[in-house]
Amino acid sequence: MGKPYSIDLRERVQAEIASGQSRRSAARRYEVSASFAVKLANLASRTGSVEPAKQGRPPGGGKLAPYLATLLEWVEGEPDITMPELAAKLKTEKDVTAHPASLSRVLLKAGQSFKKNTAGLGGRARGRAPGA
């Protein structure tokens, strides 16, 4: 997603338009698109401000939000459950399909953390041997 033009530039373009210049000539002078100047003038007349609108989605949504309490309950009940197992349980009990990575992100945002245990150390690759 692109970044909005600075407030300074927005105010200068709007001041040019307010002084009687056409929107297209103001756009040419400040080297912005004519579309930007037209939309900026419409925004200023509608709201009285040249502030850009917020970008992105509002936080807290998503299809897993209604099931967060249930997911946390399941994780508390079975702390060593894997994300694929949790996804399968969510599918069978609530009929909601979710990718394990999505479940992981939701749980991390809820304050859950993944702690590695010492039992998992033996199964990992240790890399190349020195001099190999």
Place of tokens 């994300």: 83
Element (H or E) spanning 21, and its range? none
Q: Is residue 124 part of a domain?
A: no
Structural domain tally of the chain? Answer: 2
**Same structural domain, 107 and 75:** yes
Q: Is residue 72 part of a domain?
A: yes
Counting every residue, how long is the chain? 132
**Same structural domain, 107 and 70:** yes
pLDDT score for 72: 93
pLDDT score for 124: 38
Q: Is residue 123 part of a domain?
A: no
Domain that residue 34 falls in: 7-47
**Same structural domain, 74 and 106:** yes
Q: How far apart are CA 1 and CA 81, in angstroms?
A: 36
Query: What pLDDT tens digit does each residue of the chain (132 aa) get?
Result: 689 999 999 999 999 999 999 999 999 999 999 999 999 999 999 999 999 988 887 777 789 999 999 999 999 999 889 999 999 999 999 999 999 999 999 999 888 876 655 665 544 344 455 555
Joined tokens for residue 26: 């103001």
Q: Is residue 26 part of a domain?
A: yes
Residue 23: burial class (beta carbons within 10 Å; 0-12, 13-18, 19+) = buried
In the three-class reduction of DSSP (H, G, I as helix; E, B as strand; rest coil), residue 66 is classed as helix
pLDDT score for 7: 96
The runs of H, that is alpha helices, within 3-125 are: 7-18, 23-29, 34-47, 68-77, 83-94, 100-109
Name the residue type at position 91: K
Name the residue type at position 64: L
Q: Is residue 59 part of a domain?
A: no
Distances (CA, A) of 47 to 40, 63, 79, 100: 10, 33, 51, 43
Q: How far apart are CA 65 and CA 61, in angstroms?
A: 6
